[in-house]
Structure 1
Amino acid sequence: MGLVAVRFDTGGEVADRWGDALLDAGAIAVDVAEAPSVPDVQMVLETEPEQVLPHWKGARLTALFEADADIDAAIARAEAAIGQRLAPHVIEAIREDDWVQRSRDQFRPVRVTERIWIVPSWCKPVEPSAVNITIDPGLAFGTGTHPSTRLCIRWLDANLRRDASVLDYGCGSGILAITAALLGAGSVTGIDIDPQALNVIRHNARVNAVRGRFMRPRSLKPRSFDVVVANILARPLDRLAPQFARRVRIGGSVVLSGILAAQAPALVQVYARWFNIGIWGGEDGWVALAGSRRNEHGR
């Protein structure tokens, strides 16, 4: 299958916003890497009063589109969302296998906790006796390298009880659902809006000998879970709060990540309507929230 890549350098403090805007505009994947060509200057963006985002020196973004996508329209939509013009950029046609090889070159085995390693499918485990989660990211988010993913894995390692039912909402590569299964969860369910991500997670589940149910949101029947984990972004987490309240059984847990530290207080306030919730941990400006579902009497 042919693909089209849009590549550009930008300040690290706006890299995530550009990535989100391009995904909203139709990109099927966005890769973010260090960009040594961006000058080493202090760059800070205030998106809300008194909110300062963590920043890198510079980032190189590569947005991947289907070959028949309207690239100019996608860029225009992303620019409108960000409120500024896209930096000088390169557009090139690439083969999907070329993209996959480039992605592979970036990933190495990563130790997340004392006993958990994330191992790309093309690498041998560093510690064969550890809990090795074999991941082939393909065109889906979730390789264990981002702080938000690591925070969720650490929560699962520290808190997940055996035989628990787990819903991974926005599952991407399936890394969190697979982690839960390998830690002894009784059942795992993964939800994603992207059909490509669902193909990736089904492949990754087979590689890890994990059984689970992976589907789009509309296919999920009404039921509650012992644990709902969502590593997405603050804005959709805000919108999903009432749904997660229905999905978590009384006494069960919700784990939320993909949240900047400055965004946490507002989300805590939203979820406090149904959960006893607070900041569970943080790394590099990112935090994970965790809480237990209260009953109708507030207990």
Structure 2
Amino acid sequence: MAWIQINLTVEEKLAEPLSDAFMEANAASVTFMDAEDRPIYEPDLGTTPIWQQTTVMALFDAEVEVQPILNLVTSILPELKNANFKVEVLEDKDWIRAWMDQFQPIKFGQNLWIVPSWSEAPDANAVNLMLDPGMAFGTGTHPTTSMCLTWLDAHPPKDKTVIDYGCGSGILALAASKLGAKEVKGTDIDPQAITASQQNAERNNATIEFELVKDFDAEPADILLANILAGPLKELAPEFFRLTKPKGSLILSGILTTQAKELIAHYQTLGFHLLEHNQLDEWTQLTFEKQ
């Protein structure tokens, strides 16, 4: 059976209204996808994560006429009257394959790969993480995640303790475990993140303890990784100081380059020494050592 898919990328405030409009037009389904593959966000528990730029994708039976759908949607949301809706016809098999083909093995640094379950590992002797794309949580393609994975590859945490704070899919915790960490713990405020992380750990035969932040009571670690957002990173600085051992490493990401200077100064006042300041596109990753 063929489908017609209508896509539009909108700002956060329009994502749900557009979804409702598509459903009013008798869409078979509506899906939200992060338009920029941004890092972990922190929705309130029980709510649907919506990104600043969200692609809203609606599926319709191939027999429908597209223009009446667009007319109805834009009558409900006049601000989208001149929007550039993308319309395409999808066969079931082609649709699934096209989606899968977006996610091929990705290499980070010299020896670390993220490999979707439907792909073969390009290098069987490398460190391979089996990880499929999932709801809202990073698969390694965003610059903030990529820089953290590259850092782990360059600084393998062999025989060290590691905390992944804001674990999302558990990707950084998994990488640390596969790269030789003796103990890895992860935490997040979202139960979906904990479930996804636990499932990914099982798939990779990794022993990692994941808990909600409200239940998380870990001892200080040799390495703390936090790929979240600049606001929470600033608020959590005292907690990160507590959770990092003296001379331990603190790896922060999810920071826009324009936010880095203020965040560096804030952490330095707490007793962290800046070791690395890496940039990729408009994003920054910082490495500190606790004094």
Whether these two folds match at TM > 0.5 is yes
Aligned residue for 1:61? Answer: 55
1:263 matched to 2:274? The reply is no
Aligned residue for 1:162? Answer: 158
Aligned residue for 1:8? Answer: 8
Counterpart of 2:141, as a letter, is: T
Q: 1:213 to 1:101 in 2, by over 3 A?
A: farther
Specify which of 206, 211, 225 is matched with residue 210 of structure 1: 206
Looking at structure 2, the residues matched to 263 and 279 of structure 1 have their Cα atoms a distance apart, in angstroms, of 15
Looking at structure 1, the residues matched to 39 and 212 of structure 2 have their Cα atoms a distance apart, in angstroms, of 22
Aligned residue for 1:196? Answer: 192
Q: What residue ranges of structure 2 are gaps of 5+ in the alignment?
A: 1-5, 12-34, 59-77, 86-94
Looking at structure 1, the residues matched to 146 and 121 of structure 2 have their Cα atoms a distance apart, in angstroms, of 18
Counterpart of 2:277, as a letter, is: W
Superposed counterparts of 1:1-299, under 5 Å:
8-10=8-10, 23=43, 26-28=47-49, 61-62=55-56, 104-272=100-268, 273-277=270-274, 279-294=276-291
Looking at structure 2, the residues matched to 218 and 292 of structure 1 have their Cα atoms a distance apart, in angstroms, of 26
Looking at structure 2, the residues matched to 62 and 19 of structure 1 have their Cα atoms a distance apart, in angstroms, of 18
Counterpart of 1:274, as a letter, is: G
Q: 1:100 to 1:137 in 2, by over 3 A?
A: farther
Deviation string 1:251-276 (CA, Å, 9 cap, x unpaired) is 10100001111110000011112200
Looking at structure 1, the residues matched to 275 and 123 of structure 2 have their Cα atoms a distance apart, in angstroms, of 34
Q: 1:170 to 1:20 in 2, by over 3 A?
A: closer
Aligned residue for 1:297? Answer: none
Report the number of matched residues.
Answer: 232
Looking at structure 2, the residues matched to 250 and 286 of structure 1 have their Cα atoms a distance apart, in angstroms, of 27
What is the CA-CA distance between 1:278 and the residue it aligns to? 5.1
C-alpha contact 2:41 2:228 (8 A) present in aligned 1: no
C-alpha contact 1:140 1:196 (8 A) present in aligned 2: no
What is the CA-CA distance between 1:121 and the residue it aligns to? 1.8
Counterpart of 1:214, as a letter, is: F
SS state of the match for residue 173, structure 1?
A: coil
Looking at structure 1, the residues matched to 127 and 275 of structure 2 have their Cα atoms a distance apart, in angstroms, of 28
What is the CA-CA distance between 1:230 and the residue it aligns to? 0.5
**TM-score, length of structure 1 as denominator length:** 0.68
What is the CA-CA distance between 1:160 and the residue it aligns to? 3.4
Q: 1:222 to 1:161 in 2, by over 3 A?
A: closer
Q: 1:62 to 1:278 in 2, by over 3 A?
A: farther
Counterpart of 1:245, as a letter, is: F
Looking at structure 2, the residues matched to 201 and 100 of structure 1 have their Cα atoms a distance apart, in angstroms, of 24
C-alpha contact 2:108 2:153 (8 A) present in aligned 1: no
Q: 1:165 to 1:100 in 2, by over 3 A?
A: farther
What is the CA-CA distance between 1:87 and the residue it aligns to? 5.1
What is the CA-CA distance between 1:280 and the residue it aligns to? 2.9
Deviation string 1:123-170 (CA, Å, 9 cap, x unpaired) is 211111211111123224110101110100111111233111100011
After superposing the two structures, state which structure 1 stretch, 276-285 or 219-228, moved more.
276-285
C-alpha contact 2:40 2:136 (8 A) present in aligned 1: no
Structure with higher Rg: it is: 2
